[in-house]
Structure 1
Amino acid sequence: MSAVRVGVFGLLGSGNLGNDGSLEAVLRYLRAEHPEARVDAMCGGPETVTARYGVPATRLHWYRGEYRTASRARAMAAKGAGKFVDAFRTAAWVRRHDVVIVPGMGVLEATLPLRPWGFPYALFLLCASGRLFGTGVALVGVGAAPIGSRPTRALVRWSARLAAHRSYRDEQSRDAIRAMGVDTSRDAVHPDLAFALPAPPAAAASGGTEGTVCVGVMDFHGGDDDRALAGEIHRRYLDGTTRFVRALAEDGRRVRLLTGDACDAAVVDAILAAVDSPLVTAAEADSLAGLMEETAAAGTVVATRYHNLVCALKSGTPTLALSYAAKSDALMARMGLGAYCHPAREVDAGRLLEQFRELERRSDQVRRTLAERNRAAARELDGHLTALSAALFPAAGRASAPRTPQEAS
């Protein structure tokens, strides 16, 4: 019997804590349920993934400047050559595996600015290579959304069609892929993979520090279809969020600013400079576990990034979403807090304060609701991971490709 060769793939180790949290959840699952599996990664930050998780990793892109804007002819030529080289690199990597897992992440959406020749192209190469070599590619708990760009939509549609397994983190994601012409009749929906991570320590999650408010911020410029308005969208978001934080500080409330990606640091710096209060400080969490500890120790959370919301909700802390996409609204509704969403594109500090105060008045009831919803999410996710094992890891020690969900059902 040979060990199953499992690859994990995505923008992992690149500074986005949500993506890394999804990776951590899948690695915990593999080590608990399939300890014999040999795991490695193809990802955005291979050095970080290897150092933090002990997983051998290789770069997602041959060209190191993939995500820098190419304005000179030499850089543009190198980026173009990289696309050609990546087709062979990805195929060779996929061929060495029995299963490749894409853990969570919004890999089938364009709710943030995205170019078709970036990650959508990389995902298409992965799924096409999997179909070519008989390696099962599993898109596990991923996010999806309607996509305006025709090239990006085509790449996403074909990636989804070529994958051996698909599951989604909300119903809207499955609906979006169905609307692109993909048969989703056997695709599952389950809570975000981060709900499989350990909860914060009991001491931290016992009720929080009543006066502290965690405010999760984001370097938000709108979605892929908002490029012409990106500057104005960012200005409104930053101005409204700053006004809200200033109002909290003037009320004598302690505020902890949270981030979820390295690029968010500029927003934190701008708010700290504008408010200029010792009551407003910045957290330095470098993992979802760290973010959960921060949110568990707070009385209330107001957050923008999707996985900031996940951390706050999983920690059982009353939470208000500065919602920038349908996935945030869906998550809040699943956790019983659908009434506490505020549009990130039009942050109205006055209205936000009203919603915040109402949330605090209902704090005890909200905590009970979140405890119940978290238990349900854990049960549902555990059931899906059991089904995932049946689909991707047949009992026989094998060197052949895994069965698809249709074959396993």
Structure 2
Amino acid sequence: MTGAPRVGVFGLLGSGNLGNDGSLEAVLGYLRAEHPRAVVDALCGGPEVVSARYGIPATRLHWYRGEYRTASRAGAVAAKGFGKLVDVVRTAAWVRRHDVVIVPGMGVLEATLPLRPWGFPYSLFLLCASGRLFGTRVALVSVGADRIRDRPTRALVRWAARCARYRSYRDVLSRDAMRAMGVDTSRDEVYPDLAFALPTPPASAPPGAPGPVCVGVMDFHGGNDDRARAAEIHRRYLDGTTRFVRALVEDGRPVRLLTGDACDAPVAAAIRDAVGSPLVTAADATSLGDLMKELAAADVAVATRYHNLICALKVGTPTLALSYAAKSEALMDRMGLGAYCHPAREVDADRLLAQFRALEQRSGDLRRTLAERNLAVARQLTDQFTALTASLFPTSPTSHHAHVYREAP
């Protein structure tokens, strides 16, 4: 590759999901350190936010601005359908302008949360197919995947993955899922989630000082296969989590509620209102860095959203996962805390409280375990960025410094 490489980043970025934006931030850090001459722009869900926050030009992912609103009237249905056709041309034209397109992390090959095939799976397929057509190198970097039952969604995800030049996964379960869905993964590697490459904030409380219990909450209604019982799942999750927070407050423990997406705020507000105690407060985090600062000050954490969980583990806080998918359990196993998982679909406040107390009793040991595992994760991410450079920027000079943008522990 001669001259300044033209690099695009793609995804539901700038749309309110802190985990997605954290993955983008990690990739931008890699590009700025290792390929500073690269000309970078984005095709994304929230272009205004991405441009303002990260200083790169950004284009709206969909032509139709109401893409993620339910279309009930005939005019809206027609506009959405027409938008799908327009997006074929828009996506192809955008891809063609680039040498490389990176899809940074995210669960782009999974359906663990409600998902329609004509939504993001269709957009991802257009991206990867355009890359194959025009010779643009498309990379799916440390992405999440799972086995998808819905046939149209599964087909689009499989075709998209097959068209990508480079694929890596954030856990073995993801690679196995793609293999089971018919993708040749023999050359694909598994690396940690990109959020682990972000800088780690310093501890904000002196050792031994009492801290809050951070509880990461989520607007959880189950996944694609749970649509018929989504309301029931949400009620059980909210009721169980509220009872757990109330029990902590009754013990005199301050609780700090965390969110990871704009849609989670009403859940945090509902828990605060139901408990009705000044010991319960909510953080106003706008990035994974903000979440990590909150979690670094905590004694213990309980987290639902996947990237809340990552942030807690990365800063070395003993954590209990309210797990809604196998990816959470795989992450907890990787970080040495596999015994501390609780199902988000069936939150039992009494059992959760017992698990929480058992976690606290082993807090010191678990902090040492997390410190060791984070060192290993950092080495793996250095390997990931080295492999990415070799695949996407074959004529770039080899870098001799670390590719993980974090402070030394």
Coarse TM-score class (shorter-chain normalised): over 0.9
CA shift at 1:210, angstroms?
A: 2.8
Superimposed CA distance per residue, residues 175-204 of structure 1 (whole angstroms, 9 cap, x where no aligned partner): 000000100001010010011100112x42
Q: Which residue identity is paired with 2:294?
A: E
Percent sequence identity is: 79
1:383 and 2:383 are equivalent in the alignment? yes
* 1:5 paired residue number: 6
For residue 394 of structure 1, report the CA deviation from its aligned partner: 1.2
Distance (whole Å) between structure 2 residues aligned to residue 310 and residue 215 of structure 1? 13
Alignment of 1:301-312 (within 5 A): 301-312=301-312
CA 1:297–1:209 in structure 2 vs 1: closer, same or farther (change >3 Å)? farther
- Secondary structure of the residue aligned to 1:82 is helix
Distance 1:206 1:382, change over 3 A: farther
List gaps (5 residues or longer) in structure 1: 398-409
Matched residue SS, 2:299: strand
Whether 2:270 is the aligned partner of 1:296: answer no
Partner residue of 1:261? Answer: 261
Which residue number in structure 1 is paired with residue 16 of structure 2? 15
Q: Which secondary structure state, in structure 2, belongs to the residue aligned with residue 210 of structure 1?
A: coil
Quote the residue 1:170 is aligned against: 171
Contact 1:209–1:298 under 8 Å retained in 2: no
Maintained 8 Å contact 2:13/2:20: yes
- Cα displacement string for residues 27-85 of structure 1 (whole angstroms, at most 9, x for unaligned residues): 00000000010000000000000000001000000000000000100000000000000
- Written as runs of structure 1 = structure 2, the 5 A alignment for 1:366-377 is 366-377=366-377
CA–CA separation in structure 2 for the residues paired with 1:91 and 1:390:
25
- 1:153 corresponds in structure 2 to 154
CA–CA separation in structure 2 for the residues paired with 1:207 and 1:94: 50
Deviation at 1:379, TM superposition (A): 0.5
The residue that corresponds to 2:234 in the other structure is 234
Matched letter for residue 152 of structure 1 = T
Q: 2:106 corresponds to which residue? A: 105
Q: Is the 8 A contact 1:94 1:100 kept in 2?
A: yes
Query: Could you list the per-position Cα deviations for residues 255-295 of structure 1 after superposition, in whole angstroms to 9, with x for gaps in the alignment?
Result: 00000000000101110110000000000010000000000
Distance 1:35 1:211 in 2: 40
RMSD, aligned CA = 1.0
Q: Aligned AA for 1:233? A: I
Residue type at the aligned position of 2:71: A
Change (3 A) 1:125 1:209: farther
Q: By how many angstroms is 1:148 displaced?
A: 1.2
CA contact (8 A) 1:12 1:49 kept: yes
Secondary structure, in 3 states, of the residue corresponding to 1:161? helix
Q: Is the 8 A contact 2:44 2:60 kept in 1?
A: yes
Displacement of 1:205: 7.0
TM-score of the aligned structures, taking structure 2 as reference length: 0.96
Q: Secondary structure at the match of 1:214?
A: strand
Residue in structure 1 matched with residue 349 of structure 2 by the alignment: 349
**Offset at 1:209?**
4.9
Q: In the superposition, relative to structure 1, how do residues 108 and 207 fare at CA in structure 2: closer, same or farther (>3 Å)?
A: farther
C-alpha distance in structure 2 between counterparts of 1:344 and 1:396, whole Å: 45
Residue 271 in structure 1 maps to residue 303 in structure 2: no
Answer whether contact 1:207 1:297 (CA < 8 A) is retained. Answer: no
Q: Distance in 2 between matches of 1:164 and 1:354?
A: 47
SS in 1 for 2:167: strand
Distance of aligned partners of 1:219 and 1:4 in 2 relative to their CA distance in 1, 3 Å threshold = same
- Write the letter of the residue equivalent to 1:39: V
Please tell me the residue identity of whatever aligns with 2:351.
R
1:208–1:298 contact (8 Å) kept in structure 2: no
Q: Report Cα offsets for 1:317-371 as digits up to 9, x if no partner.
A: 0000000000000000000000000000000000000000000000000000000
Query: Runs of 4 or more off by more than 3 Å in structure 1?
Result: 205-209
Q: Which residue of 1 aligns with 2:74?
A: 73
**SS at structure 2 position matched to 1:8:** strand
SS, match of residue 285 in structure 1: coil
* Aligned residue number for residue 194 of structure 1: 195
Letter in 2 for 1:155: L
Give the Å deviation of 1:208: 7.4
Q: Is the 8 A contact 2:170 2:190 kept in 1?
A: yes
Asked if the contact 1:109–1:143 (Cα under 8 Å) also holds between the matched residues in 2, the reply is yes
Distance 1:240 1:232 in 2: 12
Once residues 156 and 70 of structure 2 are traced to their aligned partners in structure 1, the CA distance between those partners, rounded to angstroms, is: 21
Q: Distance in 2 between matches of 1:362 and 1:396?
A: 47
How far 1:18 moved relative to its partner?
0.1
Aligned equivalent of 1:220: 220
